[in-house]
Amino acid sequence: MKLTRNIVVVLALILLGVALGIALGGREEERGEVAQTSSSASSAATRARPASPAAATEISGAEGTNPPTAAERSGAGGEGAEGEGAWGVVARVADGDTLTVQFDDGREETIRLLDVDTPETVHPNRPEECFGAQASEFTKTLMGQRVRVEEKGRDRYERLLGYVWVEGDGGERLWNMRLLEEGLAVYNDFGNPGRYAERTRAAAEQAMLAGVGLWSACELGERPTVAPTRAVGAGCPRGCVSQPGPSCSIKGNVNTGRDTKIYHVEGESPSYGRVNMKEAEGDLWFCTRAEAEANGFRAPRQ
């Protein structure tokens, strides 16, 4: 009888142990499922979350996070700054670098192209220059066409200074650039370079090296003068130039012995032809009397 009771107790303990094991195993499994679910949800959230700018840069392989500007996206003669400037129709053409535009807002303006100088054809005091007729005919092809003008102030004749963009098969093209590429103009910013000056200057240099247009057809003395500019700043506050141009022929002469600075106007000063310009001694060329006087030069005493 006692043996039977002991057997029953042992079986009961075994059954109890089995029950406890099953219960504990179920809880561990449940916790594992919960942990796996949480991990899956976290991974999904991470995948769904937008990447940070730094992460996006690493993924794309980009070198920087700033988008390129319109000017950086464009090529030498490609699309200009998007949305800038005013649209109109070319109404008249005076010569290769001067045209009149009837704008959509009703105003009519004469535009002097920035960074370029074509040979003269209509100057009141100068004969027609070599390749001037070709440059004029080239720009006259714009008659009646719609153009976009990016303006940059006015010159002393109150003409708008600007870049003219023309629609073409490959998008907008900068007409200032076309003149230089075709060898119909030389680079000259007259002390007032525009936003595309580096590219227009490069185009002019390429045309010169290739002997395009006037660079091979015209003798040195027959071409417009290429006038590199001095930096505006101390000693030159109004944008003087280091070489003369058709509209910048005033000589600013420094006499180091007498410590005087005198400017000479062509056709007015009797000493004009005798003044030898020496840039190393501080001599400068100016477009207007006001610019000469702003730089400390005075008119000669009569």
Q: Which of 195, 141, 148, 140 is nearest to 167 (CA)?
A: 148
Mention every residue, 6+ apart, whose C-beta is less than 8 A from residue 161: 111, 112, 114, 151, 152, 153, 154, 155, 192, 194
**How far is 108 from 141, CA to CA, in rounded Å?**
19
Residue bearing tokens 């370079």: 193
Residues with a known catalytic role:
112, 120, 159
User: Contact at 8 Å (CB) between 105 and 113?
Assistant: no
Q: Which of 139, 140, 119, 138 is nearest to 130 (CA)?
A: 119
Mention every residue, 6+ apart, whose C-beta is less than 8 A from residue 197: 114, 115, 189
The structure tokens listed for 50 are: 């937008």
Q: Give the C-alpha distances (Å, rounded to integers) separating 204 from 198, 211, 264.
A: 10, 10, 30
